[in-house]
A and B are shown apart, each in its own frame.
Chain A
């Protein structure tokens, strides 16, 4: 947080919107690439779903693929990659907390989902 903090007349030269436009948003090409990857990964998921021999190992794979998809959307479409670090902290903080609660509860209930 601190590194964003200008000690002297505060970020006076920039209006906020200029500030976040500084690092330009990715262009349409990048968006399209992300879209293609997302669709492709979803396709992969569906395909491996139907491959019977993979049944016993496929669940971790699903989770990995969905993490990648999640990251793609968050980084490019929600442009976290280009935006202030603070936003990522807020979001990732929420995700981490939620994930740990889920994992903690699963451990406590000894549910072996999947």
Chain B
């Protein structure tokens, strides 16, 4: 950006680096999350491109099988844990405090800790590429393929330990956001007045804090088996390797709702804004979100219809799974209800939101087809599943996230993303997406299993695989357009002003980008769509209390001006994360091992001791440092 200025003042550059390293401001942390996660998204996409190149034609040898296996394993893991989740976290950070009228999250330094730990986990996971090979067992890493016997390298260890780190980061963030949303709302912002995005974040945060401990346990068990020769998943010791699958999917299914609900929240914000109508059936959208979260816990074994659980279990899980279509349908129908009778303006953000709905329906319906377990026996582990996951994850989460990027970019930066390029980006994405993933339905039903490093030429899959690869390159083009737009608009995009979309929620009431303390005075909220009702008093239903629907500062005890305490910048969270990272590497290399023979690796142990000590000392520093600074 201000490259010239920096060249002249190197000190200013380091000041800025320092500022970013020690920041506890939720907006900055959100930006860090966003940029980092987007880079990981591009990395995961690049991995996908290599897979598509290999699969472009039958019987190719461009990518050797072992590399191919690492590619899809890392692609899945990266997209889910390093791209979509942190991209959602970026929005939580940027938007939630603004939407609930708060100055920051409940625990700003814990928030910084979440980010740095996420970064540590992401870096650790990807360093495995250079340290002997990455995970090669698929993103759900079924045992016993991950056991030492079949997988002597370190890829699985890297995966397990970095996922534990990512789990710590996510759990910390989940705890933080539950507390923030429950406790930090502006006066008058009752639960039923919270924007839907806030609601979905709340549901997701609950899912995170409850689901992640389960995978953490599974990962610990896996890591212990591999590092110390424990027997959790050892068939020869009498254990049942299916336990891994259960633990993974007990987490894994809530996880997919962790991935989709934020996007649903984003879309629920965007539709009313551009249709200029309140969200249709607010309470129903909220309740369906909650019930999706709850029901998401009861369906995990639908990923295991073919492991031979028996007819009773398959029936149960089939029935619970298809039931989820009901609350999801309620959401979709209410979104259509929102558009119905509206006055819809197609800005790029709206295009992406609309694309989300159109594509998610397809993905949801194919999900329903998997849920029917007898015919899923023909679909499970084929490209039909791969089609489903991309329709819900790309057509759902990613389109929703892009909608959010276009929508909130002006709030975060003060500048609009270019609309012309935005529309090109959207249409390239939309077309490229369908060209890439729609044919996967066909090859899947024509019997192409997933995770194939190559396939025979006589199977009838050649044409569509070629089409899919072409689609993937259209997606590449669309992303290049987006990147160009992003950098161009960041520098010389049109000035946005506080409220470029004539929007509805509190974040648009303050300048763009928001001042460090967000709100000069904490607003008093009198209704849903608090800001909209201020701008359009005649449109607001008259509140029972006879309040005039105006946004005005909360009357505080003294009635006067409230002192603003901003949290101090702090490097302690970063240092704790660094400590954890060091300890993590130590754990990966804690033993020299071969099946049946383990000996302690002193280097690994030393790293653990150093890392833990470092983290402990930093925690103490954190503890000693006062949280809030002097008055502003």
Contact = CB atoms under 8 A, between A and B. Distances in A.
Nearest to B524: A9
Interface string B330-373: 00000000000000000000000000000000000000000000
A1 B554 contact: no
Interface stretch (B183-191, B414-422, B501-509): B183-191
Contacts of B191: 1-2, 5
A34 B313 CA distance: 42
The listed residue with most B CB atoms (<10 A of its CB), out of A1, A93, A100, A108, is A108
A7 B246 contact: no
Contacts of A8: 187-188
- Sort chain B's interface into a size bin: 20 to 34
A24 interface: no
B297 A12 contact: no
A105 B556 contact: no
B313 A108 contact: yes
Given A97-B297, A101-B250, A9 B313 contact: no
Contacts of A2: 190-192
Nearest to A4: B182
Interface string B239-253: 010110010001000
B555 interface: yes
B480 interface: no
A108 B308 CA distance: 11
Interface of A: 1-2, 5, 7-10, 12, 86, 93-94, 97, 100-101, 105, 108-109
A26 B243 CA distance: 44
B100 to A, nearest CB: 13
B554 A9 contact: yes
Interface string B247-263: 00010000000000000
A105 B243 CA distance: 9
Given A1-B191, A8-B187, A108 B556 contact: no
Q: Secondary structure of the A side of the interface? A: helix
A102 B313 CA distance: 15
B557 interface: yes
A2 B214 CA distance: 30
B210 interface: yes
B210 A97 contact: yes
14 contacts: A1-B182, A1-B191, A2-B190, A5-B190, A5-B191, A7-B188, A8-B188, A9-B555, A9-B556, A10-B554, A12-B557, A97-B210, A108-B246, A108-B301
Given A5-B190, A108-B309, A108-B313, A94 B182 contact: no
Nearest to B304: A108
Contacts of B554: 9-10
Contacts of A86: 182
B297 A7 contact: no
Nearest to A9: B555
A94 B243 CA distance: 21
A12 B188 contact: no
A1 B192 CA distance: 11
Interface string B506-547: 000000000000000000000000000000000000000000
A105 B192 CA distance: 36
Nearest to B309: A108
Contacts of B190: 2, 5, 7
A97 to B, nearest CB: 6
